[in-house]
Amino acid sequence: MVAGYFLLPLDPLGPHRPALSWTVFGLALLLVALLLLRQVRDVLVNRPQARPGVVIPLLMCLSVLVFSAGYYSLAKQPGEFRGLATRTDALYYTTVTLATVGGDITPEGQAARVVTVVQVLYSFVFLTAAATALTRHVRNQVIRSRQRDRQGRG
Protein backbone atom coordinates (compact mmCIF):
# COMPACT_ATOMS: atom_id res chain seq x y z
CA MET A 1 0.00 0.00 0.00
CA VAL A 2 2.83 2.38 0.88
CA ALA A 3 4.65 1.44 -2.32
CA GLY A 4 1.47 2.30 -4.21
CA TYR A 5 1.42 5.71 -2.53
CA PHE A 6 4.94 6.43 -3.77
CA LEU A 7 4.15 5.12 -7.26
CA LEU A 8 0.70 6.68 -7.66
CA PRO A 9 0.71 9.39 -10.34
CA LEU A 10 -0.31 12.46 -8.32
CA ASP A 11 0.93 15.02 -10.86
CA PRO A 12 -2.54 15.45 -12.44
CA LEU A 13 -3.70 16.70 -9.03
CA GLY A 14 -2.79 20.00 -7.47
CA PRO A 15 -3.36 23.72 -7.98
CA HIS A 16 -3.70 23.48 -11.75
CA ARG A 17 -6.79 21.21 -11.37
CA PRO A 18 -8.42 22.18 -8.06
CA ALA A 19 -11.91 20.79 -8.79
CA LEU A 20 -10.51 17.36 -9.67
CA SER A 21 -8.09 17.43 -6.73
CA TRP A 22 -10.70 18.29 -4.11
CA THR A 23 -13.20 15.82 -5.59
CA VAL A 24 -10.73 12.92 -5.57
CA PHE A 25 -9.58 13.79 -2.05
CA GLY A 26 -13.14 14.11 -0.70
CA LEU A 27 -14.39 10.94 -2.37
CA ALA A 28 -11.37 8.94 -1.17
CA LEU A 29 -11.89 10.10 2.42
CA LEU A 30 -15.61 9.40 2.22
CA LEU A 31 -15.03 5.91 0.84
CA VAL A 32 -12.50 5.02 3.55
CA ALA A 33 -14.78 6.46 6.25
CA LEU A 34 -17.74 4.41 5.01
CA LEU A 35 -15.66 1.25 4.87
CA LEU A 36 -14.37 1.90 8.40
CA LEU A 37 -17.91 2.46 9.68
CA ARG A 38 -19.00 -0.78 8.05
CA GLN A 39 -16.25 -2.62 9.91
CA VAL A 40 -17.24 -0.94 13.18
CA ARG A 41 -20.84 -2.01 12.61
CA ASP A 42 -19.77 -5.57 11.84
CA VAL A 43 -17.86 -5.74 15.12
CA LEU A 44 -20.76 -4.27 17.11
CA VAL A 45 -23.25 -6.79 15.71
CA ASN A 46 -20.74 -9.67 15.94
CA ARG A 47 -21.00 -10.48 12.24
CA PRO A 48 -19.21 -13.85 12.04
CA GLN A 49 -17.76 -13.48 8.53
CA ALA A 50 -16.26 -10.04 9.23
CA ARG A 51 -12.46 -9.72 9.14
CA PRO A 52 -11.85 -6.54 11.19
CA GLY A 53 -8.44 -7.73 12.36
CA VAL A 54 -7.25 -7.46 8.77
CA VAL A 55 -9.50 -4.82 7.22
CA ILE A 56 -9.45 -2.13 9.93
CA PRO A 57 -5.63 -1.77 10.07
CA LEU A 58 -5.50 -1.64 6.26
CA LEU A 59 -8.19 1.04 6.14
CA MET A 60 -6.46 3.04 8.87
CA CYS A 61 -3.23 2.94 6.85
CA LEU A 62 -5.15 3.89 3.72
CA SER A 63 -6.63 6.93 5.44
CA VAL A 64 -3.12 8.07 6.38
CA LEU A 65 -2.03 7.66 2.77
CA VAL A 66 -5.08 9.56 1.46
CA PHE A 67 -4.22 12.51 3.70
CA SER A 68 -0.56 12.25 2.70
CA ALA A 69 -1.46 12.35 -0.98
CA GLY A 70 -3.76 15.29 -0.32
CA TYR A 71 -1.04 17.21 1.51
CA TYR A 72 1.50 16.44 -1.21
CA SER A 73 -0.85 17.74 -3.89
CA LEU A 74 -1.83 20.77 -1.81
CA ALA A 75 1.82 21.63 -1.14
CA LYS A 76 2.26 22.32 -4.86
CA GLN A 77 0.24 25.50 -4.30
CA PRO A 78 2.68 28.23 -3.21
CA GLY A 79 2.16 29.45 0.35
CA GLU A 80 0.22 26.44 1.65
CA PHE A 81 3.03 24.63 3.49
CA ARG A 82 6.47 25.44 4.79
CA GLY A 83 8.77 22.41 4.75
CA LEU A 84 6.62 19.99 2.72
CA ALA A 85 8.11 19.23 -0.70
CA THR A 86 8.17 15.45 -1.14
CA ARG A 87 5.85 12.49 -0.61
CA THR A 88 8.00 11.48 2.34
CA ASP A 89 7.48 14.96 3.83
CA ALA A 90 3.72 14.54 3.35
CA LEU A 91 3.72 11.10 4.98
CA TYR A 92 5.80 12.47 7.85
CA TYR A 93 3.47 15.46 8.32
CA THR A 94 0.38 13.20 8.27
CA THR A 95 1.89 10.88 10.87
CA VAL A 96 3.05 13.72 13.10
CA THR A 97 -0.40 15.33 12.89
CA LEU A 98 -2.10 12.01 13.63
CA ALA A 99 0.12 11.57 16.68
CA THR A 100 -0.52 15.22 17.68
CA VAL A 101 3.15 15.77 18.43
CA GLY A 102 3.79 18.74 16.14
CA GLY A 103 6.80 19.10 13.97
CA ASP A 104 8.86 21.20 11.62
CA ILE A 105 6.33 21.29 8.74
CA THR A 106 3.83 24.09 9.07
CA PRO A 107 0.50 24.60 7.30
CA GLU A 108 0.56 28.29 6.38
CA GLY A 109 -2.25 28.61 3.83
CA GLN A 110 -5.93 28.49 4.68
CA ALA A 111 -6.56 25.34 2.62
CA ALA A 112 -3.65 23.53 4.31
CA ARG A 113 -4.97 24.52 7.72
CA VAL A 114 -8.50 23.39 6.87
CA VAL A 115 -7.27 19.99 5.64
CA THR A 116 -5.17 19.62 8.80
CA VAL A 117 -8.24 20.33 10.94
CA VAL A 118 -10.23 17.84 8.86
CA GLN A 119 -7.51 15.24 9.47
CA VAL A 120 -7.61 15.82 13.22
CA LEU A 121 -11.42 15.56 13.30
CA TYR A 122 -11.39 12.54 10.98
CA SER A 123 -8.90 10.88 13.31
CA PHE A 124 -11.00 11.64 16.38
CA VAL A 125 -14.16 10.24 14.85
CA PHE A 126 -13.31 7.51 12.36
CA LEU A 127 -9.90 6.24 13.42
CA THR A 128 -10.84 6.25 17.10
CA ALA A 129 -14.06 4.34 16.38
CA ALA A 130 -12.14 1.87 14.22
CA ALA A 131 -9.41 1.36 16.82
CA THR A 132 -12.04 0.85 19.51
CA ALA A 133 -13.86 -1.71 17.37
CA LEU A 134 -10.61 -3.51 16.61
CA THR A 135 -9.77 -3.63 20.30
CA ARG A 136 -13.23 -4.98 21.08
CA HIS A 137 -12.87 -7.62 18.37
CA VAL A 138 -9.46 -8.76 19.66
CA ARG A 139 -10.74 -8.86 23.26
CA ASN A 140 -13.75 -10.95 22.18
CA GLN A 141 -11.46 -13.34 20.29
CA VAL A 142 -9.28 -13.78 23.39
CA ILE A 143 -12.35 -14.42 25.57
CA ARG A 144 -13.70 -17.01 23.10
CA SER A 145 -10.31 -18.70 22.92
CA ARG A 146 -10.09 -18.92 26.71
CA GLN A 147 -13.62 -20.33 26.89
CA ARG A 148 -12.75 -23.02 24.30
CA ASP A 149 -9.61 -23.89 26.26
CA ARG A 150 -11.60 -24.27 29.47
CA GLN A 151 -14.24 -26.38 27.77
CA GLY A 152 -11.52 -28.58 26.26
CA ARG A 153 -10.02 -29.20 29.70
CA GLY A 154 -13.34 -29.79 31.41
62 by DSSP, 3-state: which?
helix
pTM of the complete model = 0.87
Amino acid letter, 68: S
pLDDT of residue 102: 79
Task: Specify the CATH number of the domain 21-152.
Answer: 1.10.287.70
Residue 36 near residue 129, CB atoms below 8 Å? yes
Each residue's pLDDT, cut to its tens digit, for the chain (154 residues) gives 899 999 999 988 888 899 999 999 999 999 999 999 999 999 989 888 888 889 999 999 999 999 999 999 999 999 999 999 999 999 999 999 998 887 789 999 999 999 999 999 999 999 999 999 999 888 888 988 888 888 877 6
Residue 92 near residue 101, CB atoms below 8 Å: no
Amino acid at position 128, single letter: T
Cβ atoms of residues 43 and 136 within 8 Å: yes
Please state, in angstroms and rounded to a whole number, the distance separating the CA atoms of residues 124 and 132. 11
Residue-level pLDDT at 154: 61
Tell me what pLDDT residue 147 has: 85
pLDDT, position 100: 83
CA dihedral 48, 54, 59, 60 (to 10 degrees): 110
Domain assignments of the chain as residue spans, ordered by start: 21-152
Cβ contacts of 56 within 8 Å, gap of 6 or more: 36, 39, 130, 131, 133, 134, 137
pLDDT at 19: 93
- At 34 the pLDDT is 96
82: helix, strand or coil: strand
Contact 73, 13 (CB under 8 A): yes
